A and B are shown apart, each in its own frame.
Chain A
Amino acid sequence: MVSINNAHDDLIHDAVLDYYGKRLATCSSDKTIKIFEIDGESHKLVETLRGHDGPVWQVSWAHPKFGVILASASYDGKVFIWREDNGVWTNIAQHSIHQASVNSAIWAPQEYSALLACASSDGKVSVLEFKDGGKIESIDFPAHEIGVNSVSWSPPSVSGSLVQTSITGSSKSSPTHNNIRIVTGGCDNFVKIWKYDADANNYVLEETLDGHTDWVRDVAWSPSVLSKSYIASASQDKTVIIWTQEGTKSWKKKLLREDAFPDIIWRVSWSLSGNVLAVSGGDNKITLWKENINGDWEQSGEVEE
């Protein structure tokens, strides 16, 4: 398997494969982002992106239909958008409305169009929309009092959208904008769900999920469109909670693991299909979790350095 040693001079904070699994972007406290090309077992560093003034917390690839686009969020309070064009990487946009570290920047599912959600320690979440002709519009709203640590998009639920729009024939209201939701986790220990309100052109609070007793470090909305929606939230309180919702019923809470993890939990990640959850934390270990047929979560793997 591919293994890249000491790619950065300092802690790595994120490593993400692109849509096809061909390129890897990593970011680090050394303020740089590196792009690797992955080919089978081999890898090649193709670019080092510089420009951030602080540690880079997270990177996110946009859907390839928008081009080869990478967004990066940094402690310097900025979000950069990078684009590759014939092997040349350029910084095509900078988003600097946040007053404090931007801890997370995540592209929306492509069905929602080119939307980027950013979560900042200044307590706000901003959503950028990249419009025709390079115009960028941004919406921001206060989400968590002390700081927002993470943001994640709901998967596009096709629920009624395609069919309905087709029937009404209205091409104005976009088929998917009806049901855009995001989930955020922050320093007020809450997980909050926000829904896009087209009339107000903003995101309105739909649900506050109260279950953690310490900062919520990461939230992840499962990309699987099943009859249940899944959200995983990881917290400093050493627990991971799986929140599920069936239809429009209320969210149900379930601890991924009844007893606490040995250390704080930093990150949760859902597989693209199959709902396997990867959990990583302060003990420098990664565990994998899968829901069994009875609806209980079982550990099905562990990775150590």
Chain B
Amino acid sequence: MEKAGRKRTVSNSMTFGNTLSVRVDEDVSAMSISPSGRDVVLASKQGLFVVDLDDPFSLPRWLYHKTSWEVADVQWSPHASRPYWVVSTSNQKAMVWNLSLPSANAVEHVLHGHFRAITDINFHPQHPDVLATCSVDTYVLNWDLRDPSKPSQLFSDWISGASQVKWNRINPNILASSHDRRVHLWDIRKGSVPFCTINAHSRKINGINFSFLEETQLVTCSSDGTVKFWDYGKEIPQEPNFTINTEFPVWRARYTPFGNGCVIMPLRGGNNSVFLVDRGDKRGISKLNPVYEFNAHTEPVHEFLWRSRGGYNEIDDREFQLITWSKDHDLRLWPVSEDILQSVHFDRSKCSNPISSRYGAPYISYWSEPLHGFSMSPQYKSFLNNTNRYMSVPSALVNRQRKLNLQERQLRWLQGVRMGNRAGIGGLDMFGYYDSEICFNLGEELGALANKFPKVRFEKINVSAGICIMSMIGPWGENGDGVFIRLNISFPPMYPQGGTLPEFNIEESLSISEEEQLKIKKELIKIAEKFISVERGCLEACIRFLLDQVTSDEYNFESVEQDNLNEENIELFNDSKYLENSISDNGDEPLSISSDEEYIIPEFEDDENNGRTRVDGVAQNDFSLSSPIARTVLDSTPFGLGCGARWGPDGDLVCFFEKKERKEETYNDIGIHKRNDRFRLRVSRPIHLGTNTSNHGEGSSSSDSESGSDYGDDASKWILTERFKDHMGFKQRTISENHKSVNESSINGGGGGTEIQSDTSYVGNVVTFKDYRHLIPSRRELALEYKIMGDTTENLAKHNAKIAAKYGYFDVADCWRLLSMIDSPFLNSDGHYFWGSHPFGRQWMVSTMFNYFEKQHNVQMLANMSCLLSDWLRRKVGEAEKGCQLTPGIRLLTPFPKAIITSQTREIYEKGDGLNSYRPSVKSHDGRVTQPSSIVYSDSIVENHNVNLNHTTSNSNLIHANYNYRAPPRLKVEFLNEDLFETQQKQNYLPLLDPSKENKYQAYRSQYAQVLFTWGLNMESLEVMKYNYSPLDHELGPSVFSEHYSAAIGLRPVPSRLFERKNYILLRQCNFCGLSVKGRFTTCTKCEHIYHVGCAEEWCTEGVDECSSGCGCHCLLDSVTAS
């Protein structure tokens, strides 16, 4: 049936070859195109929407089918012989719609053969009655619609759910299905085993597509970011012929119906574009190198289609248009230029493609309801009701929906339609409508008006027919009283171009005198003339006149831009008393819908928000916020968590919870936590659900991610949509959400058992502390009693072993005991022995211990071991004992040692005068050379002043000689046969810690020090840290510290002293040399005395760590270098 009597053909389509964008405020998840290319069908949870691409201004036909399952796929039959069939999924069922039937009864068949959600539908390219479906239940089913009661054939992978099924475009017996990472190729003549399986990808395959040109070629795409081209003609392919590596997971890759190209559509990322690449004959691996990028969507594109016209005559004269649907809710039409077609080698002289099954489809639209739609005899209707279980809409619902605000829906739809350049990027401001008021056609003009005049009621709009009926209250009664006016306007086809005026008809009414009516009409024509002469839409001016008697004299196009005027007038209207009255107060709800417009409009009941915006006068912002086409920047903020745990410093776990009502459990399903709906669409699913409701639960949980595994990537995608939708953060969202619940309840209400869970789940919150100290191997009580300084390693280890055993840490205690043994350099029986290279030394045992505690994550033990086994301690003890500075058991807090002694070959650690020095002597009992592996030390004191005593401070080689000193009063060293021992000696003096891993040990220590610090054991912490500072560090100490403290100044309250003039002068003088300081200086964070860097160094090399000003502060430990 044609609208408005204007016969359309594909060649005069006003949208083909044009850019168009249509905003559809539905959560459309699938799209398909009719064989003629005139209609597209959009599928959402509300049903199917048929959009006539040649008349995008009209509200789509709505085939109501409310479901709680996302529609995974919708396919319009590609056959010219079956142009009325559309198949959509509804969880495990596939619905076959016949669009030539009235919408309320359009479901012709229901294909029920799968056990779980269907993921893909594919019509057979040659047989119009055959189609294949695949599902997460791993089956691929073939259906012959001549007998839709059961599938005609079945294939299964048995293991993984199927994501896609596609027929070969040339060989009618072959079809392919993708299961997780594999592609199976089936021959319908060969039963149950795929004749070919390709292990195609490293991640789930999202799409497969057969070539239009070559029988055995197909393309696959996957979440692993690759698109692979295969040819199974010769053998089962192991490797693809050609691979494209993209940087995003690929949702679809399809051959183009023209030339030899391929269109790649990302699942996410990729600039929200669709990419056209040239397939050519390329081989190997390549990066994504598109010949064209279709980019304008603001969110990922969800589906794309090719609309074509022309056919196969002598030459291939087809033209193409790309249609995309994106998550940004825009349906876009993209003209495809000849250049683009040529870039993928589209050769018009060759008619290489097989004749499309679409060819010859009548260019008609299924947008309109079939004529007999509502004139059906009651008998027939009841017959249908009985035979068709799937009668979509209860008639009560239909009636309700017919009452609703048709004009508002229509206007909103109009606002979303953009043609030509305006469909491109930008143009829309943040509220979803244009800044510019210049409208190019009636549709846009009407759309723009809806925002401005909420009081004007658009009772009927038919853009293609050029009819508009509106009503309002204007000051046309006696004494200027407000009276009701209804105006009927019919617009000429080319409006506002062409110079023809629209026709105005004022409905006769008693409240307006005839005289007045004529006057109004005259003025309206005058206004129209003025605007049409400059090819502008006159509607707004007309309405203004009717509302507020703004006459044509107010408009002067020479001087004042219409836009500016608009702004002023809006102010004016706010004062107008006629705007205060809501038209609906009249109680008069005239609705005149011509029979061919008996479409059902998705429910949009008045609720508080909606009502308010209509009553509020010209509240532009408010209104646009609630406008469904409000275009927003995506707010991807995840919903804040309600429960969590954070570790405190000491094994305390701070837990916080959302307190919940237990009652929640009794609610059945579809429990959308309203307060959380920004992110957490959560379904609570108690076990005691009936079958009916559990189906519901499963369905709605696909938006929740409960059934993520069922849907695989599909599901996560839906979830994403759901989420985006849900936290758009705009009022409209909430409104429609509410409506959904209302709908749901009204539908499910009859079935019983379902209840909508509202905002009741949140009750309060609680923060609790839990003690999980026992899980953490570092123990405070051990740290309190451990000793790591002030004695020999052996004794310290013994002490620590006792402590560990006392608290019941026996593995730790054992380790300490072992360490105390190997650390002792002396063996009782035959002399002295270093354990360094022995398996019980560093080579095996120490490293095993470290590994063990590393695996236990026992930082305490790791750090203590790296302290006690460190040669630092040995040196320290040695030094201390020599100098008698320290008695065992007293904690050591002396400054760092100053001298560094390195040993290149056998130069020995030495300090002080030669007389007190201890030298290891290498001598066997009987004077003979012992085995190289064991060097025996003599207790005997050998006076030998000839030994070369070196005090070397070589920086180049920092091999610290590791000697263990006990405390014999005097020791002389004598080297015998030293040439034989030269290499051995080094080996045997191996420190127990591997110096090459010193970094690691330092890390253990500093981390443990931090732990100690948080335990409040500051002294212990400092002791551990001491091991991290080699003597060398001391000399350059300030630089190490500077980093730590320079930042502190930033956050600390700045000491006011700094800025007092008097002190400021003081501060600028070096405390050492008395000269003023410019440039780099060192300052103490406590006393704030400053030094030249050079002076500070000089001062500190004198061995004093106090401030030179005499204030008593130990500056050198606290100083900061700054410039």
A267 near B765 with CB under 8 A, answer no
Chain A hits for B775, CB < 8 A:
271, 274, 276, 288, 290, 300-301
B1122 at the interface (CB under 8 A from A): yes
- Do B705 and A238 touch across chains, with their CB atoms under 8 A apart? yes
Q: Are B646 and A269 closer than 8 Å at their CB atoms?
A: yes
From A4-12, A193-201, A250-258, the one touching the partner chain is A4-12
Report which of A69, A159, A263 forms a contact with B1051, defined as CB distance below 8 A: A69
B663 contacts chain A at the CB level, 8 A cutoff:
no
Contact indicator B643/A284 (Cβ below 8 Å): yes
Q: Report A185-218 CB contacts with B as 1/0, cut-off 8 Å.
A: 0011000000000000000000000000111010
Say yes or no: is B354 at the interface (Cβ < 8 Å to chain A).
Answer: no
Cβ proximity bits A10-42 to B, threshold 8 Å, 1 near / 0 not: 111111110111001010110000000010000
Nearest A residue to B1010, CB-CB: A272
Residue from B633, B660, B713, B775 with most neighbouring chain A CB atoms (10 Å): B775
Contact with B along A264-290 (1 / 0, CB 8 A): 101101111111101111101110101
CA distance A100 to B729 in the complex (A): 12
Within 8 A of A (CB), among B632-657: 633-638, 640-657
B1050 touches A135 (CB 8 A): yes
Contacts of A142 in B (CB 8 A): none
- B1061 sits at the interface (CB 8 A): no
Whether B857 lies near A291 (C-beta < 8 A) is yes
In the complex, the chain A residue whose C-beta lies closest to that of B1029 is: A162
Which residues on B sit within 8 Å (CB–CB) of A38?
A: 769
Chain B residue contacts of A290, Cβ below 8 A: 775
A238–B633 CA distance with the chains assembled, in angstroms: 27
Query: Contact at B767–A280, with CB atoms within 8 Å?
Result: no
State in angstroms the CA–CA spacing of A217 and B716 once bound together: 15
B1046 at the interface (CB under 8 A from A): yes
Residue among A12, A260, A280 with the most chain B CB within 10 A?
Answer: A12
In the complex, per-residue mask of A111-148: 1 if CB is within 8 Å of any chain B CB, else 0: 10110000001000000011111111000000001110
Of the stretches B381-389, B421-429, B550-558, B1034-1042, the one at the interface is B1034-1042
> Judging by beta carbons under 8 Å apart, are B1007 and A65 in contact?
no
**Residue from A146, A159, A269 within 8 A of B999 (CB atoms):** A159
Partner of A280, one of B640, B644, B856: B644
Residues of B within 8 A of A224 (CB): 857, 859, 1007
Taking a contact as CB atoms under 8 Å apart, the answer to whether A66 and B1030 are in contact is: no
Q: Contact: B1040 with A225, CB < 8 Å?
A: no
Q: A188 and B268: CB pair below 8 A? A: yes
Of B643, B1008, B1038, the residue contacting A266 (CB under 8 A) is: B643
B138 at the A/B interface (Cβ < 8 Å)? no
A149 to B638, CA, bound (A): 7
Given A66-B1048, A175-B1043; A11-B857 close (CB under 8 Å): no
Known contacts A19-B1014, A133-B1050; is-contact A266 B716 (Cβ 8 Å): no
Given contacts A15-B646, A264-B705, contact A4 B767 (CB under 8 A): yes
Residues of A near B1044 (CB, < 8 A) are 65, 110-111, 113
Which residues 152-179 of A sit at the B interface, judged by CB distance below 8 A? 155-160, 162-163, 165-167, 169-171, 174-177
Q: Are A14 and B646 in contact (CB under 8 A)?
A: yes
A227-B1000, A282-B680 known; A167+B646 contact, CB < 8 A: no
> Within 8 Å CB of A72, what residues of B?
none
Q: Does A52 make an interface contact (CB < 8 A)?
A: no
A62 close to chain B: CB less than 8 A: yes
A67 near B776 (CB under 8 angstroms)? Answer: no
B1100 to chain A, nearest CB (A): 14
Query: Known: A14-B644, A163-B998. Contact between A305 and B776, CB under 8 A?
Result: no
The answer to whether B645 touches A213 (Cβ under 8 A) is no
Decide if B641 touches A280 in the complex (CB within 8 Å).
Answer: yes
Closest CB in chain A relative to B665 CB, distance in Å: 13
Instruction: Say if the beta carbon of A181 comes within 8 Å of chain B.
Output: no
How many Å from the CB of B669 to the closest CB on chain A? 16
Residue A233 interfacial (CB < 8 Å): no
CB neighbours of B999 from chain A (8 A): 157-160, 163
**B1054 CB within 8 Å of chain A:** yes
Chain B residues with Cβ below 8 Å from A111 are 1043-1044
- What's the least CB distance linking B651 to chain A, in Å? 7
Closest residue of B by beta carbon distance from A304: B657
A155-B1007, A162-B1002 known; A266+B641 contact, CB < 8 A: yes
CA distance A9 to B709 in the complex (A): 36
Whether A17 and B719, one on each chain, are in contact in the complex, defined by CB atoms closer than 8 angstroms, is no
B contact residues around A134 at 8 Å (CB): 1050-1051, 1054
Chain A residues within an 8 Å CB radius of B658: 11-12, 284, 305
Q: Which of B636, B719, B1038 has the most CB atoms of chain A within a 10 A radius of its CB?
A: B636
- A132-B1049, A273-B776 known; A286+B655 contact, CB < 8 A: yes
Whether B1011 sits at the interface, judged by CB under 8 Å, is yes
- When C-beta atoms are compared, the residue in chain A nearest to B1050 turns out to be A130
**B1101 shortest CB reach to chain A, Å:** 14
Neighbouring B residues of A171 by C-beta, 8 Å = 1036, 1038-1039, 1042, 1121
What are the residues of chain A within 8 A of B859 when measuring CB–CB? 224, 226, 273-274
Q: Which of B655, B705, B860 contacts A273 (CB 8 A)?
A: B860
Q: Is the CB of A227 within 8 A of B776?
A: no
- Report whether B1051 and A62 are in contact in the complex, using a CB–CB cutoff of 8 Å: yes
Residue contact B642 to A276, C-beta cutoff 8 Å: no
Please state if A113 and B1039 are interface contacts (CB–CB under 8 Å).
no
Within 8 Å of chain A (Cβ to Cβ): is B1006?
A: yes
Decide if A130 touches B1047 in the complex (CB within 8 Å): yes
- What 0/1 pattern do residues 698 to 732 of B give for CB contact below 8 A with A? 00000001001100010010011000000000000
Q: With CB as the reference atom, state the residue of chain A lying closest to B638.
A: A149
Q: How far is it, in angstroms, between the C-alpha of A282 and the C-alpha of B640 when the chains are bound?
A: 11
Q: How far is the CB of B251 from chain A (nearest CB, A)?
A: 14
Q: Does B767 lie within 8 Å of A166, measured CB to CB?
A: no
Q: A15-B656, A17-B649, A134-B1054 are in contact. Are A158 and B644 (CB under 8 A)?
A: no
A295 within 8 A of B: yes
* Given A4-B766, A284-B658, A288-B775, A267 contacting B645 (CB threshold 8 A): yes
Q: Determine the distance from Cα of A162 to Cα of B1030 in the docked complex, in whole angstroms.
A: 10
Contact with A along B977-1012 (1 / 0, CB 8 A): 000000000000000000000111011101110110
Which of B649, B713, B1036, B1054 touches A19 (beta carbons < 8 Å)? B649
Q: Determine if B641 and A21 form an interchain contact, defined as CB atoms under 8 angstroms apart.
A: no
CB distance from A8 to the nearest CB of B (A): 6
Q: Tell me, yes or no, whether B115 is within 8 Å of chain A by CB.
A: no
- Residues of A with C-beta under 8 A to B767: 2-4, 7, 12, 15, 24, 26
Contacts of B1039 in A (CB 8 A): 165-166, 169-171
Residues of A within 8 A of B855 (CB): 291, 293, 295
State whether the Cβ of B234 lies closer than 8 Å to any Cβ in chain A: no
Knowing that A110-B1044, A133-B1050, A167-B1032 touch, tell me 4 more A-B residue pairs with CB under 8 angstroms. Answer: A121-B636, A132-B1046, A278-B645, A295-B855
A-B contact pairs, 30 of them (CB 8 A): A3-B769, A5-B764, A7-B765, A12-B642, A12-B767, A19-B1014, A21-B649, A66-B1052, A83-B1051, A111-B1043, A113-B1046, A136-B1050, A165-B1039, A169-B1039, A171-B1042, A177-B1043, A188-B269, A214-B720, A217-B641, A225-B1006, A264-B680, A278-B647, A285-B643, A288-B653, A290-B775, A293-B852, A303-B653, A303-B655, A305-B660, A305-B766
A residues with a Cβ closer than 8 A to B are 1-8, 10-17, 19-21, 24, 26, 28-29, 38, 55, 57, 62, 65-67, 69, 75, 83, 85, 92, 100-101, 103, 110-111, 113-114, 121, 129-136, 145-147, 149, 155-160, 162-163, 165-167, 169-171, 174-177, 187-188, 213-215, 217, 223-227, 236-238, 260, 263-264, 266-267, 269-276, 278-282, 284-286, 288, 290-291, 293, 295, 300-301, 303-305
Residues of chain B at the chain A interface (Cβ within 8 Å): 268-269, 633-638, 640-660, 680, 682, 705, 708-709, 713, 716, 719-720, 762, 764-772, 775-778, 852, 854-860, 862, 955, 998-1000, 1002-1004, 1006-1008, 1010-1011, 1014, 1016, 1028-1030, 1032-1033, 1036, 1038-1040, 1042-1054, 1121-1122
